[in-house]
Structure 1
Amino acid sequence: MKISDEVAAAINTQINNELTSSYLYLAMSAWFETQPYPGFAKWMLKQSEEERMHAMKFFNYLNDRGGVVKLEAIKEPKAKYSKPLEAFQLALESEIKTTKQIHHIYEVADTAKDYETRHFLSWFLQEQVEEEKTASDWVQKLELAGEHVNALFNLDHDANTREDI
């Protein structure tokens, strides 16, 4: 069954949202590269790649369902932060926003009785639980570290061990 115009529009918006998130994390990675935090830079780069992968899942799904992908301009992301905690707080806010955006698509699909899209979104709903928890954990760790240089460097080292996308 061809996807409805309403669901296709919501998915197109989400493709842009995911690419915007990817761009935000890429900008964060670039900022961390200018700081003594190569681990945080790597973590943010991996997160950027993951968000782009999410955009491509939506992109491919829309194509598979006979929809038309409509890419939009991406706004310039914030590029400077006062400290690592500020960047991770923005990352958490971004993940919470993404969860709400996916809920919106689910509601549109539910109204349209588009059971295939609701099923497709199940993976994203579970993924967002993980994304919010991970970002929240980093915020909590950085709050505990405060301005303690050794603690920040240890956290940066931990961030550098991230391998997944």
Structure 2
Amino acid sequence: MFDTPVDTWYTWLGLALAGTAMVGTALSFPATAAPDATSVADTVDGVAASEYATTAEHPLDATMIRLGPRRVSLRNDGGTAHAAFAFGPVAPIRPDSKLEAVLYGAAPERTFESRRAFTQALVEAQTTEPTWRPVDRTLVVRRVQWGEQNATLVGA
């Protein structure tokens, strides 16, 4: 008595529209999760807070990265995530620079002609406007000291 007759056209039309809406909603979800920028910032902070020369690596689940002296941004198909560094500023390293050699293990005193040149390279790294760059490896963080100059180098 209170049942909807299944042979009516508007019942089938309503079911078809509801099914189409559910399929469209399911297909609109991203296939991957947004990258975890907070764990990247935690790794950088762990190295920056250290009293000693330290190196750490962090695998990245992103396709693009934007490193600044006070924050990191990661992007992939799932979205974009941002996180700030608690211990900063850090020196974001650009590829093919002298600081990149130091980031990957070279001694600053063997790479730079003087402490002043090292300090100038750090200032330039910290004042350069961050841009999006493709990620081709893990994030590397290294804390170095040369004389009175302490620096946390970050590159990906």
TM-score (norm 1): 0.30
Bigger relative contact order (CA 8 A; separation at least 6) = 1
Greater share of residues in helix: 1
Greater share of residues in strand: 2
TM-score (norm 2): 0.32
